[in-house]
Structure 1
Amino acid sequence: MTDKPLANRIAVVTGASRGIGRAAALALAGQGAHVIALARTQGALEELDDEIRRAGGAATLVPVDLKDFDALDRLGAAIHERWGRLDILLGNAGLLGEIAPVTHVDQPVWDAVMAVNVTANWRLIRSLDPLLRASDAGRAIFVTSGAAHKCTAYWGPYSVSKAALEALVRTYANETLNTPIRAMLLNPGPLRTNMRRAAMPGEDPTTLRTPEDLALHIVRLASPAWTETGKIYDFPTDRLLTPQMPA
């Protein structure tokens, strides 16, 4: 017997080799989940696997570029064949793109940001939805950003992509209201990550909270006990936010 809240749960984590994804993968595995870890870097995935195993957990490594959409379809088929269900999906991987005026953003940069931040998550939902429905408590969590609402100058690709992601996840939440699935957005706020360092090069990282600080809250959102759907969990304020509907 185990008292781990995620014992025997199956979890997919994207961007699992570093930052929020890595911390989340370790926390989910630490609470009993078998983690299917997706990232581009084989070596970093192997280091993650070593740490999970040292702590008594288990993982399956999937080196993949999320822009390989056919691979995401194959992922769903492989999970179905091995487990027949999926309990947790954490869509964490993201690209910052260029910090530049929207009129100066290069087309390949725009395309890459939209592919990873939006289209890959749609493809994951499309591929993994039947598996989440097969769970007794499917939990789909996607990392957003305050940039989706602030629309700060020069953050165009990232802001637009996160706004689109929020619309995608809220739509999915409404489409799964009468199922065991709960779909949530997660705003981590400023954390000590490589993406934050790239976006704010003059900032003192020691003033920021870490991905590990966030990870236990991800475990909470991923647990069968979580009941909310279609909302944003705002980590900086530890509050649930309900997106405003137009009048």
Structure 2
Amino acid sequence: MSDLPAADVAARPLAGRYALVSGATRGIGQATALALAEAGAHVIAVGRTSGALEELDDAITKAGSTATLVPLDVKDGAGIDRLGGALFERFGRLDIFVGNAGVLGPMTPLAQVEPKEWDDTVAVNLTANWRFIRSLDPLLRLSTAGRAVLVSSGAAHKARAFWGPYAVTKAAVEALARTWANEVANISALKVNLINPGPIRTRMRAKAFPSEDPETLPAPEELAQAILSLCLPSFGETGRLYDFPTRRLVDFRMPD
């Protein structure tokens, strides 16, 4: 895989490490949680659906790893705050954070977006990531190799008609990650990066492009291997965006 270190999963390079994945119950989040578990991590799986979390737990157990299940709506900011404290009490640190939870939001002209739809999209795609940063940054700084990966989208730069709430929030997520990366660049072992999945075989993609043949798209499991590589202690870059469609790293930090 270009620009990324290969993960020797058989060697379980994440053994003894703690990894939190938001939106872990399906699609990219589910595949990423399982990939991290297969690499040896104890996975803190955050998702809204208890049944789906239990199914993920079964898969993680079969992979020879363990999980902590956190049924949580990421719009619950106070719940995210409490989660950070609970993780410190139980584990004393966090090694990996994958900010994956997201919603497509309304596909409609900006002038016709309902305020609640706007607020919900911003809450899930943007504010939740900020709340996770606020809650988890101290724990990630306690790791010898803290890694944070936030999931962006090509929509952040295309400004495609009718994609307003989604595009705006993903552009803001990139600014959020850039800022965080610059804040920790010289003071900790924490590395902060972004990933652009591109077209992936997910429910969200099917909702946005209902006439598209999903079998022509990469599976979430393929993307999960790229996210795993960004989470490895051996990946020492920070302030980068990994563009999965082109398999290339892009430096997204701006000079002063």
Q: Does 1:120 align with 2:125?
A: no
Deviation, structure 1 residue 218: 1.1
Query: Within 2, Cα distance between the matches of 1:44 and 1:243?
Result: 35
Query: Within 1, Cα distance between the matches of 2:117 and 2:150?
Result: 22
Query: Within 2, Cα distance between the matches of 1:210 and 1:216?
Result: 11
Tell me what 2:244 maps to: 235
> Which one of 140, 143, 157 corresponds to residue 149 of structure 1?
157
Q: Does 1:191 align with 2:190?
A: no
Deviation, structure 1 residue 88: 0.1
> Which one of 145, 166, 170 corresponds to residue 137 of structure 1?
145
| Number of corresponding residues | 246
Deviation, structure 1 residue 242: 2.1
Could you list the per-position Cα deviations for residues 34-84 of structure 1 after superposition, in whole angstroms to 9, with x for gaps in the alignment?
000000000000000011111211000000000000000110001100111
Gaps of 5+ in 1: none
Q: Contact between 2:239 and 2:253, CA under 8 Å: does it hold in 1?
A: no
* Divergent runs of 4+, >4 A: 244-247
Tell me what 2:16 maps to: 8
Q: Contact between 2:29 and 2:101, CA under 8 Å: does it hold in 1?
A: yes
Instruction: Give, as a single letter, the amino acid of the residue that structure 2 aligns with 1:183.
Output: V
Residues 204-219 of structure 1 mapped to structure 2, 5 A cutoff: 204-219=213-228
Query: Within 2, Cα distance between the matches of 1:56 and 1:119?
Result: 34
Gaps of 5+ in 2: 1-9
Tell me what 2:4 maps to: none
TM-score, normalisation: structure 2: 0.94
C-alpha change, 1:245 and 1:109, in structure 2 (3 Å) is: same
Deviation, structure 1 residue 3: 2.5
Could you list the per-position Cα deviations for residues 5-46 of structure 1 after superposition, in whole angstroms to 9, with x for gaps in the alignment?
101110000000000000000000000000000000000000
Tell me what 1:87 maps to: 95
Deviation, structure 1 residue 216: 1.2
SS of structure 1 residue aligned to 2:40: coil
> Which one of 36, 48, 51 corresponds to residue 43 of structure 1?
51
Instruction: Give, as a single letter, the amino acid of the residue that structure 1 aligns with 2:79.
Output: A
SS of structure 2 residue aligned to 1:37: strand
SS of structure 1 residue aligned to 2:97: strand
